[in-house]
Amino acid sequence: MATPCNIVTICPSVDALSAEEKISVKCPECGVKLSQQSMLQLHLFKAHGMTQDGTPVAKDAAIHYHCPMPECIYRKDGGHKHFPVFKKLKQHFMKVHAEKKYQCSKCRRNFGLDRDRKWHEESCGVTYTCKSCDHWYFTREALATHCSRANHPYPQEYKPKKAR
């Protein structure tokens, strides 16, 4: 019998990471249907204690998700960099490597996910001005950093409204 491994390495395909529609993959052990090949790998690990090739997995094994792109620092053979959860790998892939097919209507910047484009458009073109020195910034965070470093008061109108 094989020795249990302590690290489960999952490297989904480009198609699995860029797919907007779900596919169906069946577990060979119990028959449950899963939406992606990488989800099957995770299911086999958690439910059956094995890797896809049948190698037993230690109960305390860590899961390392790797990017399938050969030039990426998160690739399988790229060293120690990995993602601890699939969601973070997918987010990385869609922001860094995926086709940027959603365009901001104001500045023409492209995004891999429509939700990122919508989030960007809410503040695209908005500037935040320091009332002490009239210097302006594109983000509230940049203005907050400036005010903190220059010891200027943060303008009240930019402070987030508190929920009641």
Q: What is the pLDDT along the chain (164 residues), one digit of tens a residue?
A: 445 567 878 888 888 787 666 678 888 889 998 877 777 877 888 888 887 777 787 777 888 889 999 999 999 887 679 998 888 998 999 999 989 999 999 999 999 889 889 988 988 888 999 999 999 998 888 999 999 999 999 998 888 766 55
Look at residue 91 and tell me if it is in a domain. yes
Is residue 116 domain-resident?
no
Strands (E), the chain: 5-10, 25-26, 33-34, 57-65, 102-103, 110-111, 128-129, 136-137
pLDDT of residue 2: 47
In the three-class reduction of DSSP (H, G, I as helix; E, B as strand; rest coil), residue 117 is classed as helix
Last residue of a domain, which of 55, 77, 96? 96
pLDDT at 89 (0 to 100): 92
Domain count, the chain: 2
Say if 119 falls within a structural domain: no
Residue 108 lies in a domain: no
Residues whose CB falls within 8 Å of the CB of residue 34, separated by 6 or more in sequence, listed in order: 24, 25, 26, 27, 40, 43
Question: Do 83 and 139 belong together in one domain?
Answer: no
pLDDT at residue 103, rounded to an integer: 95
One domain for residues 67 and 141: no
Are 87 and 20 in the same domain? Answer: yes
Tokens encoding 71 = 């030039």
Query: Residue 9: which domain range?
Result: 5-96
pLDDT at residue 5 in the model = 63
What span, in angstroms and rounded, lies between the C-alpha atoms of 57 and 45? Answer: 7
Instruction: Report yes or no on 55 lying in a domain.
Output: yes
Same domain for 86 and 144? Answer: no
Instruction: Determine, yes or no, domain membership for 148.
Output: yes
